[in-house]
A = this chain, B = another copy of it.
Amino acid sequence: MSSLRDVAERAQVAVSTVSAALNGTRPVAAGTKRRIEQAAAELGYRPNLLARGLQSKRTRILALLYPAPRSGFGLTEMQFATGAAEAARELGHHLLLSPENADPIEELRHLTGLGLVDGVLLMEVGLDDERAAFLAAAGVPFSMIGRTRDPGSIDYADIDFAATAGDAVAHVASLGHRSLALFNLSAGAYGDGYGPAIRAGEEFAAAARAAGIGYVDGHRPGSAEEGREAFERLMDAHPDVTALAVMDDHAAVGVIAAVAARGWRIPDDLTLMLVLSSARVAEMFHPRLTTLEPPGTELGRLGARMLVDRLSGDGPPQQRLVPCRLVAGDSSAAPPPKPRERRPA
């Protein structure tokens, strides 16, 4: 690989002049500049990132930190990563994939001590996230996909749960439903204090109240079997519920089975929608489910972009909320005209 010195020799100038010409960091006479650029092109010169980073303390490398997935990552997490990587590249940066081990703080200390990364992008942020606290204390630039309970002036991109819940409620309300239930994420899959689970619960309740329709919460099925059971219990306690939003894919499978077991049909007897599931997943179901698709790629892109902004400038904190996109499937319809009854096959 050719170095700055090779270019300098070929162009008959000093090394520092080449650096200045190529980076535009100080004025260089037009003729000289042209000679240098040509020499660089002829040699196929590429600046060495390590040398540059060593000197300038800026590597233009970002680290994407994510916990070992408790239950395997989904499409959304993949989108965070690819979105962030894309945006980073467009902005002339690189993205390092950093799985956490048992001790995330130690991991972080190590990672930032290496001098390798300029900033950190945090995924799967908890309401009280120790990583965020550590980074803030250590003065390491970072941004979050998701957010802590009190993000203060930390940059983040997160789902707009209020808007999302509003859209969901508006969707079923406009179809004529008067009562909606939510099956939240199970504690097992993500642990307690998982932001999306808590915020979604709160915002659905608020949106339903604002729209003046009934709202039932409390079930948190994490598997098909639990979904089936939860639906049975829901119908026992609240036979008037005609619309159901489910956050866990697998639970939805159970709900569909339970509906069928009663001799009911979707969407005629129940409007069923997924929350925070990608349309690709929703399409796997029969009927194709309506879903509120999380803006994974966009959140990833935003997270990376605001981190780069933070690194290169100061500016006010950027805090962005992006709503899920409602993708209508074949599982939404008007509520049944008269009370449903079990019609076992």
A residues contacting B by CB (< 8 A) are 1, 44, 46-51, 53-54, 59, 61, 64, 68-69, 72-75, 77-78, 81-82, 85-86, 89, 94-99, 101, 110, 113-116, 224, 249-250, 253, 256-257, 260, 280-281, 283-286, 288
Contacts and interface: CB of A to CB of B under 8 A. Distances in A.
Nearest to A252: B284
A283 B48 contact: no
Contacts of A49: 114-116
Given A75-B74, A97-B85, A97-B96, A50 B46 contact: no
Given A50-B50, A54-B48, A78-B78, A72 B286 contact: no
Nearest to A224: B283
Contacts of A114: 46-49
Nearest to A63: B94
A280 B284 CA distance: 11
A86 B99 contact: yes
Contact of A97 (B81, B113, B283, B284): B81
B249 A284 contact: yes
A51 B48 CA distance: 12
B94 A1 contact: no
B46 A54 contact: no
A82 B69 contact: yes
B116 A50 contact: yes
B95 A97 contact: yes
A263 to B, nearest CB: 14
A14 B202 CA distance: 61
Contact of A51 (B47, B54, B77): B54
Contacts of A256: 286
Contacts of A85: 97-99
14 contacts: A1-B113, A46-B114, A48-B54, A50-B54, A51-B115, A72-B75, A73-B75, A75-B78, A81-B97, A82-B99, A85-B98, A86-B99, A94-B96, A281-B284
Contacts of A98: 85, 89, 94
A116 B89 contact: no
A139 B29 CA distance: 38
A169 to B, nearest CB: 25
A182 B114 CA distance: 51
A279 to B, nearest CB: 10
A145 to B, nearest CB: 15
Given A78-B73, A82-B73, A115 B1 contact: yes
Contacts of A1: 113, 115
Contacts of A101: 89
Contacts of A224: 283
Given A48-B54, A51-B115, A77-B78, 17 more contacts: A48-B114, A48-B115, A49-B116, A50-B54, A50-B59, A50-B115, A50-B116, A54-B54, A61-B96, A78-B81, A81-B97, A82-B99, A89-B98, A94-B98, A95-B96, A250-B284, A284-B285
